[in-house]
Amino acid sequence: MTATIIDGKAYAQGLRARIAAAVGTLAGQGVTPGLAVVIVGEDPASQLYVKNKARQTVEVGMRSFEHTLPASTSEAELLALVATLNADPAVDGILVQLPLPKQIDAQKVIEAIDPAKDVDGFHPINAGRLMTGVPGLVSCTPLGCLLLAQSVRRDLSGLNAVVVGRSNIVGKPMAQLLIAQSCTVTVAHSRTRDLPAVCRNADLLVAAVGRPEMVRGDWIKPGAIVIDVGINRVPNPAAGEGKTRVVGDVAYAEAVKVASAITPVPGGVGPMTIACLLRNTLEAACLRRGLTMPQVDFASAS
Ligand SMILES: Nc1nc2c(c(=O)[nH]1)N[C@@H](CN(C=O)c1ccc(C(=O)N[C@@H](CCC(=O)O)C(=O)O)cc1)CN2
């Protein structure tokens, strides 16, 4: 078997086009959603993601507010900026790029963001809403993973889903989203006994461990849907000294021969993270103003 390659880049592009159309509808009502992105420090990967977020925000017709703070920024200074953004009526969504420098408690910052502007869906209020089935802002990466899985199989109900990774940002919300789709969900992690055997039980496998190519081809049930969240930079000596390449948490060349469908890295889940962020910003802009969210078709695969 050779798996269908789930093209996250194309899906995200289509989704952004539909978001842009919805933003156009809102503009007719005099509303332009605004997204504030805060970056602290000079991590090159974070700088790239923030640059892409700002560009794509403007491309869909929203306002982008970028705040670049030095790596020496104190927790109090960052919290003060968050308070200013909470109070700014032009800002509908606030995202503080992670990771943060070690002098700053990320959880404290997440909890300082107004839940109505928490377009990352990381605030405990939004996480709790997801857990209890109440509408709220949902973390972008898990939402993107769900949309990609549904692009190859609309109805996931009854599937055995295994999520490898238990982070607050991906693993836990992913599990909640899949429970809401009536999957039978197992959350596996570094202490899980016989992880390969657990993974082999998965009709739908989501790998979010942050370990390059940890999930091998023989861990995968023939015909499974595989969603790879990992973005790991590894040395690429073939391209020259000091060069790197990006690989996922799944050994792609092996897995593609066993799965029925798989997301590549790059070009799978990553682009969906930003598209879902824009979708959340649109939703936050509507909810804050008591407006009906313009219809955005999330099910179209492109
Ligand atoms: N506040 C947040 N911080 C971080 C999040 C997040 O959702 N909210 N997620 C990641 C980084 N991230 C978005 O912020 C992100 C990661 C990767 C991609 C992406 O498109 N990746 C490309 C590959 C890019 C590369 O070569 O490095 C792909 O997969 O095709 C987009 C967004 C951590 N921080």
CA distances from 5 to 9, 88, 259, 263, 268 (A): 11, 42, 10, 6, 9
State in Å: Cα 32 to ligand 1 middle.
25
Residues in a beta bridge with 65: 36
CA distances from 132 to 58, 127, 136, 176, 276 (A): 34, 9, 10, 9, 21
Decide if pLDDT at 240 tops 70: yes
Pocket test for ligand 1, best of 43, 231, 244 (most atoms within 8 A of CB): 231
What number does the ligand 1 atom closest to the CA of 266 have? 30
What number does the ligand 1 atom closest to the CA of 271 have? 20
Name residues whose C-beta falls within 8 Å of residue 300's C-beta, 6 or more positions apart in sequence: 14, 18
d(CA 166, CA 118): 21
d(CA 23, CA 16): 10
Domains, the chain, ranges and CATH?
29-116 (3.40.50.10860), 140-270 (3.40.50.720)
**CA nearest ligand 1 atom 18, residue:** 270
Pocket test for ligand 1, best of 11, 265, 273 (most atoms within 8 A of CB): 273
Q: What angle do CA 100, 89, 281 make, to 5 degrees?
A: 60
Decide if pLDDT at 301 tops 80: no
pLDDT digit string (tens) for 78-98? Answer: 999 999 999 999 999 999 999
- Answer whether 186's CB lies under 8 Å from 161's CB: yes
Coil, helix or strand for 2? coil
d(CA 42, CA 50): 11
**CA nearest ligand 1 atom 33, residue:** 98
Q: What angle do CA 248, 196, 131 make, to 5 degrees?
A: 70
Q: What is the pLDDT of residue 298?
A: 73
**What residue ranges line ligand 1, CB within 6 angstroms?**
45, 49, 95-98, 120, 140-141, 231, 246, 265-267, 270-271, 273-274
Decide if pLDDT at 20 tops 70: yes
pLDDT digit string (tens) for 153-195? Answer: 999 999 999 999 999 999 999 999 999 999 999 999 989 999 9
Determine the length of the chain.
302
In the annotation, is 53 catalytic? yes
What number does the ligand 1 atom closest to the CA of 49 have? 32
Q: What is the pLDDT of residue 72?
A: 98
d(CA 162, CA 200): 9
Average pLDDT over residues 112-141: 98
Catalytic one among 7, 53, 92, 228?
Answer: 53
What number does the ligand 1 atom closest to the CA of 140 have? 7
Which region, left, alpha or beta, applies to residue 27 given φ > 0 means left and ψ of -120 to 50 means alpha?
A: alpha
ipTM value: 0.96
CA distances from 200 to 152, 164, 217, 219 (A): 20, 12, 10, 5
The single residue listed with the structure tokens 């993107």 is 144
In the annotation, is 97 catalytic? yes
What's the predicted TM-score (pTM) here? 0.96
State in Å: Cα 124 to ligand 1 middle.
21
